Chains A and B, each alone.
Chain A
Amino acid sequence: QQQVKQSPQSLIVQKGGISIINCAYENTAFDYFPWYQQFPGKGPALLIAIRPDVSEKKEGRFTISFNKSAKQFSLHIMDSQPGDSATYFCAARKNSGYSTLTFGKGTMLLVSP
């Protein structure tokens, strides 16, 4: 059973456009939702994270929107740039002692010049 579902699998956006990646989860015990960015040949790196006590978190051009009742969260990349071309993973973790991250399957984003 896939606990974190991510869509779309791939996305092409023109430079300057808005990239939107969506994730949905089932486990209501999840209470930490990070997004990771991965460039080819590199390990994933934390981009931005949110807890469910807020509905939105913004860092520069990157925004997480969180809908607790719908059990959904999304990543918005404003003014997308070619340098944003990467694979993005959403993830979720329970807050119970040490809990491992459960990842979505990833979205390959290509920002065309």
Chain B
Amino acid sequence: NAGVTQTPKFQVLKTGQSMTLQCAQDMNHEYMSWYRQDPGMGLRLIHYSVGAGITDQGEVPNGYNVSRSTTEDFPLRLLSAAPSQTSVYFCASTRSGYNNEQFFGPGTRLTVL
């Protein structure tokens, strides 16, 4: 199993550009989440999904869109990038059930100029 994969690993955008961060998992996990990590801020939840076709907002959803058309994929879209969105983005997945482990991807480092 590849686990949770993310592409690209690095990305530089100009303010106002749009892009999609890709996330995929091959563990047949129902739950998937997107976090951003900023120095001194820990991991903050952007959006999450409890299954195909079902998404919800986390702590910091503004400026981001998600969709979940399949169990495997959970892309994160930046509609109009801003410098405040410079961060490291992590995708994670979890099997449904009680207290199951959350697996993280390797991250995407995004810089918005």
Contacts and interface: CB of A to CB of B under 8 A. Distances in A.
Main secondary structure of the interface of B (DSSP, over half): strand
Interface of B: 4, 31, 33, 40-45, 48, 50, 58, 90, 92, 96, 98-99, 101-107
Contacts of A44: 43, 90, 104
Given A51-B99, A101-B102, A43 B107 contact: yes
Interface stretch (A14-22, A68-76, A103-111): A103-111
Main secondary structure of the interface of A (DSSP, over half): loop
Contact of A98 (B4, B31, B90, B106): B31
A66 interface: no
Given A44-B90, A44-B104, A100-B33, A105 B50 contact: no
The size class of the interface chain A forms with chain B is: 20 to 34
A37 B69 CA distance: 31
Contact of A49 (B42, B96, B99): B99
A46 B43 contact: no
